[in-house]
Structure 1
């Protein structure tokens, strides 16, 4: 099926150029797992050879003068950029329907954090620990949350891409320094890895909105892990119930600040004709250039940062974020390397777990028709299981599962994602557990 029939790509690299690069790669085999591979880049990541629009009308004519660090690293590893994928405008959404270039009609695989589209399309989605992968050259949505993710057909492929893009970047102020990376490595090396893992099951993730198909897949995944000799333990993450609300205060607040520069004067495509309605120089430009979802989040963010609302919303959301992080730190056997500098790699393991396993999304993949009937708030609920790990900056992997038919024809067929979450910096463990599920499902 042609990529444009799905509207999955905003731009594609020239066929002749791709062929030349692929032919050159064929003459240099055994140069690494990415050598000669065609790799699609999300269109909010800067590339000098293809436009970077972030699926927004305000950037529809923009081509970056430089490549993002992750693009440079992929190319250095021999990867070939095949095109730029469609997405929700500036990454604001979960289903790639809020794009200036139109919704992705099926097989949506373009969201930055990677987990939801991976769950919906039956592939691997990997979100590394915040700060491991450079964000330099990535158009910002929410600085404290943005993480370059990987979509792949297998955990092996995802790990290969991660190894290529992981590393310190002095151009990115949020990039983990070599000293911190060494501390994490030392902490992990002190840990005694047993053949049997302790798998945590977050009780608060068993919500009323969880569909029967997803619940069955979750139980099946846990049974697979138990049959492999791993121990299944219930854990409590009480602040989970507040995480979604906190996220939708913090992310729009940061977005309203980040998107302020798109005024058609310093950045962005300026609207034709006179601008400046009601004395605002760029009102027409921003009104035409931004889509409804971006306008909604910018207005929400501007309000929560206002003098009369910041204490009740933004500050409270930051407190919730810290509680979410503390919940995770309390259940993981590995100490948080960013907070527990002087501690050993293992805590009291009697009630601790190595990883958490839970669904990626609470329901089967929705249709575009069903999404049109939802309110924005209802659409946000699909992020309920991915948001806590994002708030805490933890690594997470979504592994595909198929929803099986219920007895007597009950239930539906569809892709389901099972999510593996680990302590900060323990990215390889998430991939290891994901591989176990992948190979035994």
Structure 2
């Protein structure tokens, strides 16, 4: 992290504008770029007594799972886990919190980029409901998915900031995705917890365990930790039931069509003429008539170029119907599945009944009307414990993408989700002496149920963090 000042400490991801600091998205094409104003979220936190202490490393333009694709180099995890992945793409923000360099760190979460680093660094990472926090001053990756997220060592710090200071209520007219005041008030009126009152018990709260999340790639120690966390929740008075989210099996594939497509569109402006640093190594930058080919080739890293190519193809006339349009249909089905399992209705959508023919046969019906509806979903944040950096650097892109399997669905649906540290009781197996003894436990709530989610996560986190 590049340090600038001291005070009530706030670390800012390098794709969020902060006056007095460079904002480069950890990319060569934006090297030396200084945006001459604060992002709205930064100015909001400055007004609450925070002082920016530095900009943090990340995956280039937010595209990555382990914070290894940035132009400034790999983000390394905090002691004593310096050889492990810090998660991505907000790995630098998570490390700044875990090392005690900042009380709160800002990140961005497009498909898990705040929650994944939290799971890998033993910190708390919160992605609020889409449209709650302003994105003005945040360099976009995928507009329909990007969400400003918060990282801290405890849930309490995040809840005190978001709910205690009424940050959730502030609309930003500069951000077209920021929910208007009237809609915020209507949504808040349908929810509890926004008065700042914290829960003291889990009694009366029902948690769902998505059976589709028990995937083959799920590490055995993480699975055991998930089961143990569910038992702890029951011992605390909560009710735990299995639920089915049938379309989530397709969520990851849909995400990696939609996000690259939006990225290809957003990054088209970085050509060295209108935006970005121009390649001046040669007299001309127009081989074969392409004016800015060398600028984009040298300015972007491999992962960014890979996603631009994927996105450009899925938006082409030959592929748009079979890829981008189909992915958007899957996204709506993912959102529908969430709406059907939650007790609370989505305040932005009409309620739809559950089609029992879509439901897994192992899910028990609550009554003749259908299966049990829940308050929150409980699942792992990542399918593995923090992997070694040496392993990560030899992964294929597909292997890295698979790490997002549990975080992507909530992003597609725009729902609030939080990752808290989860101690793992399973002893190390042969050859696993170097594995971390913790993972991330994720709680997902219905849209705009952020206040209650944070209050419940506060209780759960204290019980399951047994490191």
Q: Distance in 2 between matches of 1:410 and 1:215?
A: 19
Hey, what's the Cα distance between the residues in 2 that align with 1:361 and 1:189?
Answer: 29
Give the structure 2 partner of residue 264 of structure 1.
272
Matched, 1:121 2:121: yes
Determine whether 1:203 maps to 2:211: yes
- Partner SS for 1:379: helix
TM-score (structure 2 length as normaliser): 0.84
Residues 6-45 of structure 1 mapped to structure 2, 5 A cutoff: 9=1, 11-14=2-5, 18=6, 22=7, 37-45=8-16
Q: Which residue of 2 aligns with 1:255?
A: 263
> Which residue is equivalent to 2:33?
62
**SS of equivalent residue, structure 1 residue 126:** strand
2:235 aligned with 1:227: yes
Q: Distance in 2 between matches of 1:408 and 1:311?
A: 47
Q: Which residue of 2 is the match for residue 281 of structure 1?
A: 291
Task: Please give the alpha-carbon distance, in whole angstroms, between the structure 1 residues aligned to 2:286 and 2:150.
Answer: 41
**Secondary structure at 1:400 match in 2:** strand
Q: Which residue of 2 aligns with 1:5?
A: none
Give the C-alpha shift of residue 350 in structure 1: 6.7
- Give the structure with the higher percent helix: 1
- Cross-structure match for 2:363: none
C-alpha contact 1:331 1:353 (8 A) present in aligned 2: yes
- The Cα shift of 1:421 comes to 0.1
The separation in 1 between residues aligned to 2:187 and 2:416, in whole angstroms, is: 14
In 2, distance between residues paired with 1:433 and 1:161? Answer: 16
Matched, 1:179 2:182: yes
Alpha carbon RMSD of aligned pairs, Å? 2.1
Distance between the aligned counterparts of 1:49 and 1:280, measured in 2?
35
Shift of 1:367: 1.6
Query: Using the alignment, how far apart are the partners of 1:43 and 1:429 within structure 2?
Result: 30
Structure 2 Cα separation of the partners of residues 410 and 228 of structure 1: 35
CA distance in 1, matches of 2:141, 2:406: 20
Whether contact under 8 Å (1:150, 1:161) holds in the other structure is: no
**Cα drift, residue 196 of structure 1:** 1.9
Counterpart of 2:310 in structure 1 is 300
Counterpart mapping for 1:74-153 below 5 A: 74-107=45-78, 108=86, 109-110=91-92, 112-113=108-109, 114-153=114-153
Per the TM alignment, residue 276 of structure 1 is displaced from its structure 2 partner at its CA by 1.6
Distance 1:341 1:70 in 2: 32
CA deviation after TM superposition for structure 1 residue 280, in Å:
1.2
Unpaired segments of 5 or more residues in structure 1? 1-8, 23-36, 343-347
For structure 2, list consecutive stretches of 5 or more residues without a partner in the other structure.
Answer: 79-85, 93-106, 353-368
Aligned to 1:149, what secondary structure does the other structure show? strand
Equivalent position SS for 1:297? helix
Using the TM superposition, give the Cα deviation of residue 61 of structure 1 relative to its aligned residue in structure 2, in angstroms. 0.9
Displacement of 1:410 in angstroms is 8.6
Instruction: Return the alpha-carbon distance in structure 2 between the equivalents of residues 236 and 350 of structure 1.
Output: 9
CA deviation vs aligned residue, 1:56-101 (integer Å, no higher than 9, x gap): 0001110001110000001000101000000000000111000000
Question: Are the equivalent residues in 2 in contact too, given 1:402–1:413 (CA < 8 A)?
Answer: no
User: Residues of 2 paired with 1:308 and 1:409: CA distance?
Assistant: 50
Contact 1:218/1:359 (8 A) holds in 2: yes
Residue 125 of structure 1 aligns to a residue whose secondary structure is strand
User: Against the structure 1 CA distance between its residues 309 and 186, is the aligned structure 2 distance closer, same or farther, given a 3 Å change threshold?
Assistant: same
Q: CA deviation at 1:341?
A: 8.7
- Mean alpha-carbon deviation: is it higher for 120-129 or for 179-188? 179-188
